[in-house]
A and B are shown apart, each in its own frame.
Chain A
Amino acid sequence: MPIHEKSLIRPENLRVQENLELEGVDVSGHWSTFIESRVVSDYNEAIEDEIAALPGGEYIHRCWQCGSCTNACTVNAIDAEFNPRHWIYLVRIGLESELLRDKEIIWQCVSCNKCTYACPRDVNPEGVMKSIAHWLELKGHTAKSPAAHFDEVFAGQVFATGKIEEGRIIRGFFARTGQALRQEWLMVMARRMVRHLPLRMMFVMALGSVLQPKTQGWGRARAAIGEHVAEQKAREHKALGIAGQERS
């Protein structure tokens, strides 16, 4: 059957067979285009609880779909496909396949928190976006986002030393995300720093980069943080029903 309304149908739902015969009838080619059913046939009731178990997602069940978050959203203003209200709904009702269609957009939240201030029910949509992105990662639906890599390098260094050393963070982040260290903008920045920064600051930075100083007596704090992070991860993995170590 010819389909004149193809624009209304999701491209991935259109099926054309090169050679297919059904009960003696040839149904090959364009004139026999099939459409996959759009019908939602079940709810995945675990998703909402899983999102609520991740940091930021705790208040997702408060949402009543007013759209204040999407209206306030910085990213939505430049990409109409970015719709926090919609994703919150999909999670709440458990429409997993719909949610996964948008897995490459959800993590693009810039955490401006305009939605947080707009939300009349204190859902904390920004936190929910974070937890959905985290959920997608933990479930293996998406690779870690660049922001997640940066967070891990940054936090890893703080946990290890109690200090932040910018050069190492940049190097670690670039290594994790497969970026070359010699980048034009970075070279320009380095040259300007050499030219304009006070000598003493340059010296401290260089020393830090080489010696990798630690905060004095950091050992106990590091142990406590390590324990807390491990507990948190174990709790998240349990809530999501996934075993073992986090993927890296």
Chain B
Amino acid sequence: MSKPVLVVGGGPAGLAAAHGLASIGQSVVLVEKEDRLGGAPILSGYAKLIPSGEWAKDAIGAMVARTAEHELIECRLTSQVDAFSGEAGQFQARLSDGATIDAGAAILATGFSHFDSLNKPEWGFGTYDDVVTTVQVEQMISSGSGVRCPSDGRKPERVAILLCVGSRDRQIGREWCSKVCCTVSANLAMEIREELLDCNVYIYYMDIRTYGLYEDLYYWKSQEEFRVKYIKARIAEVTSDGERLIVKGEDTLVKRPITIPFDMVVHAIGMDPNIDNMKLGAIFDVALESHGHIARGSAYSAPATTSRAGLFVAGAACGPETIDDSISQGQAAAMAALAVVKQNQRGAA
């Protein structure tokens, strides 16, 4: 009987790793600090996912269900790893619920934290009710309540989406591009236009990074079919005239200052390193890279490795990542972890 693989984190990457291992007969212990599985798409109530357009609760929900009911996967919810020792083939993890797990290998699928918009006070979040984040708009859509101004429940007639909130900003020590927000924003803009025909949506951008196949499927589509307007401007501040929000900035293409009234302003918040990464780095004795994500051991020859042998990483734990790529990385980490477990089994025999 081989030792189980410890998977830390029950989001898309962790679910994919756990199920991948279990589906080829490897036992898994899945540790999740929240009281349910699914990670950000479920816990934060995402709406329709990119690129398939499936609802998060269906797509990720199905991954949760097959993981929760698999006999080779032991799910330990509301639980965290407090201590982690040993070496590849024979790790011991002590959990916050008191249990001790012997594991042949471990996978960190600890994900990310959403950027907290309070760290950019000039953009009005926390000051004005109608300044919200992309996550809140996702929730308005996924809950079925529709996109409404939080202040009085009215349907907005004009919405501004500000890109790069918490990304590409040296002022707040976040030099990275969060990679998904352009596409997410284009998608949300289309959702808003679909629900509210009379609502105009403006996206304020520095660059549009709807990379790869997202270019025409999201960026072009939002312009051509949904008439979303893109304005090259980094907004200076969001204030209010007492009735509506006032967005100030420079329209760089006409070189003129703008102060435009809006009903709702949406922050396209970026992906921070998991707020617990310093702690995780210490507990797992694993290196973080310069931005604070878990450092990859190798970019090419040994995917999913970290600075510690037998400990692997997948998904947004190592940097801003899409859901589908996190799932692929979870599978890659499962393969790498399985190799370590099998090798040590042979060694022990």
Contact = CB atoms under 8 A, between A and B. Distances in A.
Contacts of B259: 39-41
Nearest to B228: A61
A92 interface: yes
Contacts of A45: 158, 200
Among A39, A86, A90, chain B packs the most CB atoms within 10 A around the CB of A39
Interface in A33-56: 38-43, 45, 48
A61 B222 CA distance: 10
A61 B253 contact: no
A62 interface: yes
Given A93-B231, A98-B254, A43 B260 contact: yes
Nearest to B257: A39
A61 B223 contact: yes
A41 B256 CA distance: 10
B260 A40 contact: yes
Interface in B214-268: 219-220, 223-224, 227, 229-232, 251, 253-254, 256-261
B183 to A, nearest CB: 15
A64 B230 contact: yes
A64 B260 contact: no
Contacts of A212: none
Nearest to B222: A61
Contact of A40 (B208, B230, B257): B257
Interface in B181-222: 200, 202, 208, 219-220
Contacts of B257: 38-40
B254 A95 contact: yes
A204 B153 CA distance: 76
A192 B220 CA distance: 56
Contacts, number: 52
Given A48-B227, A62-B224, A64-B230, A90 B254 contact: yes
Nearest to A94: B229
A6 interface: no
A59 B224 CA distance: 8
A95 B257 CA distance: 12
A141 interface: no
Interface string B256-282: 111111000000000000000000000
Contacts of B254: 40, 86, 89-90, 95, 98
Interface residues of B, number: 22
A210 B259 CA distance: 63
Nearest to B248: A39
Given A45-B200, A62-B220, A93-B251, A39 B227 contact: no
A91 to B, nearest CB: 11
Interface residues of A, number: 22
Contacts of A63: 223
B253 A39 contact: no
Contacts of A61: 223-224, 227
A93 B160 CA distance: 13
B225 to A, nearest CB: 9
A86 B232 CA distance: 13
Interface in A161-192: none
A65 B253 contact: yes
Nearest to B198: A45
A89 B219 CA distance: 17
A40 B254 CA distance: 10
Contacts of A64: 208, 219, 223, 230
B345 to A, nearest CB: 56
Interface in A69-121: 86, 89-90, 92-93, 95, 98, 121
B9 to A, nearest CB: 38
Nearest to B261: A42
A111 B224 CA distance: 24
A98 B253 CA distance: 12
Contacts of B223: 61-64
Contacts of A48: 227
A65 B254 CA distance: 12
A92 to B, nearest CB: 6
Contacts of B202: 43
Nearest to A38: B256
A41 B260 contact: yes
A62 B229 CA distance: 10
Contacts of A90: 254
Contacts of A93: 229, 231, 251
B220 A92 contact: no
Interface in B277-308: none
Nearest to B226: A61
Given A43-B202, A62-B224, 11 more contacts: A39-B259, A40-B251, A40-B260, A43-B200, A45-B200, A61-B227, A64-B208, A65-B232, A65-B253, A86-B254, A98-B254
30 contacts: A38-B256, A38-B257, A40-B251, A40-B254, A40-B257, A41-B258, A41-B260, A43-B200, A43-B202, A43-B260, A45-B158, A45-B200, A48-B227, A61-B224, A61-B227, A62-B220, A64-B208, A64-B219, A64-B223, A65-B232, A65-B253, A89-B253, A90-B254, A93-B229, A93-B231, A95-B251, A95-B254, A98-B254, A98-B256, A121-B220
Interface of B: 158, 200, 202, 208, 219-220, 223-224, 227, 229-232, 251, 253-254, 256-261
Interface of A: 38-43, 45, 48, 59, 61-65, 86, 89-90, 92-93, 95, 98, 121
